[in-house]
């Protein structure tokens, strides 16, 4: 939201500068203009800088999946962390859509940064009683390329789960009462995501 506001300010300033440099001389006689020390090159430089600021202020805000503004780069995670994240995505979301895989990864990342959970990927994934694939050994299967891509997208801030801290498959859940107490956020494929 803050990035969008910043872009609007930059665009507004660029439009004001453009109006003052292009249209104002036609509307007011040259003798009435007071800022005679501003050269045409200065105006073009200013417009160029405004354009550069708009470009550098970020990409498109029209993404289908929400991007967390408060999120950190995947470079804060080790290769081992990424392997664990890809492994749990592969084990939990095999057969789900790519968006579903990213959402599972986002839940893990949301937990890492939530005060109620451990503060590392490994500790979140291996926290006792949290993920069935850890208990049954499915996490030890080698993750596929799509699971790795989903892991990198999740740590880069893509969050189709919309900030969820839990997910489950209603058809396979062993603890439906626990999930019934939580706020449903979104359903993606066979998984329901909750806060």
Return the closest-CA partner of residue 177 out of 160, 194, 162, 163.
194
**Is pLDDT above 80 for 183?**
yes
Q: Does the predicted TM-score (pTM) go above 0.85?
A: no
Return the closest-CA partner of residue 156 out of 62, 74, 68.
74
Residues 6 or more apart in contact with residue 56 via CB below 8 angstroms:
none
- Backbone CA torsion sign across 148, 151, 153, 155: negative
Q: Write down the domain spans for the chain.
A: 2-56, 66-194
Q: How far apart are CA 149 and CA 82, in angstroms?
A: 10
The chain-wide mean pLDDT, for the chain, equals 81
pLDDT tens, 32-83? Answer: 555 556 666 667 777 777 676 666 665 444 444 444 444 444 557 889 999 9
Share of the chain above pLDDT 90, in %: 50
Kindly state the DSSP code that residue 24 receives in the 8-state scheme. Answer: H
Q: What is the dihedral of CA 70, 71, 75, 80, to 10 degrees?
A: 140
- Of the candidate CATH numbers 3.40.50.970, 1.10.260.40, 1.10.10.2520, 3.90.850.10, the domain formed by 66-194 belongs to 1.10.10.2520
Contact 134, 158 (CB under 8 A): no
Average pLDDT of span 151-172 = 93
Q: How far apart are the first and last CA of the chain?
A: 22
pLDDT tens, 116-156? Answer: 999 999 999 999 999 999 999 999 999 999 999 999 999 99
């Amino acid at each position: 939201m803050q990035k969008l506001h910043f872009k609007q300010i930059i665009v507004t300033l660029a439009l004001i500068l453009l109006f003052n440099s292009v249209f104002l001389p036609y509307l007011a006689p040259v003798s009435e203009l007071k800022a005679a020390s501003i050269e045409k090159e200065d105006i073009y430089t200013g417009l160029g800088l405004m354009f550069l600021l708009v470009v550098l202020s970020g990409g498109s805000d029209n993404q289908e999946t929400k991007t967390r503004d408060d999120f950190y780069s995947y470079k804060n995670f080790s290769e081992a962390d990424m392997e664990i994240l890809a492994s749990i995505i592969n084990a939990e979301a095999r057969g789900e859509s790519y968006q579903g895989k990213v959402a599972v990864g986002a839940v893990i990342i949301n937990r890492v940064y939530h005060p109620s959970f451990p503060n590392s990927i490994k500790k979140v994934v291996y926290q006792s009683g949290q993920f069935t694939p850890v208990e049954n050994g499915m996490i030890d299967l080698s993750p596929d390329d799509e699971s790795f891509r989903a892991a990198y997208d999740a740590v880069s801030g893509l969050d189709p789960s919309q900030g969820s801290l839990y997910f489950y498959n209603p058809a396979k859940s062993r603890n439906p009462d626990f999930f019934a107490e939580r706020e449903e956020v979104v359903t993606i494929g066979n998984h329901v995501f909750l806060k």
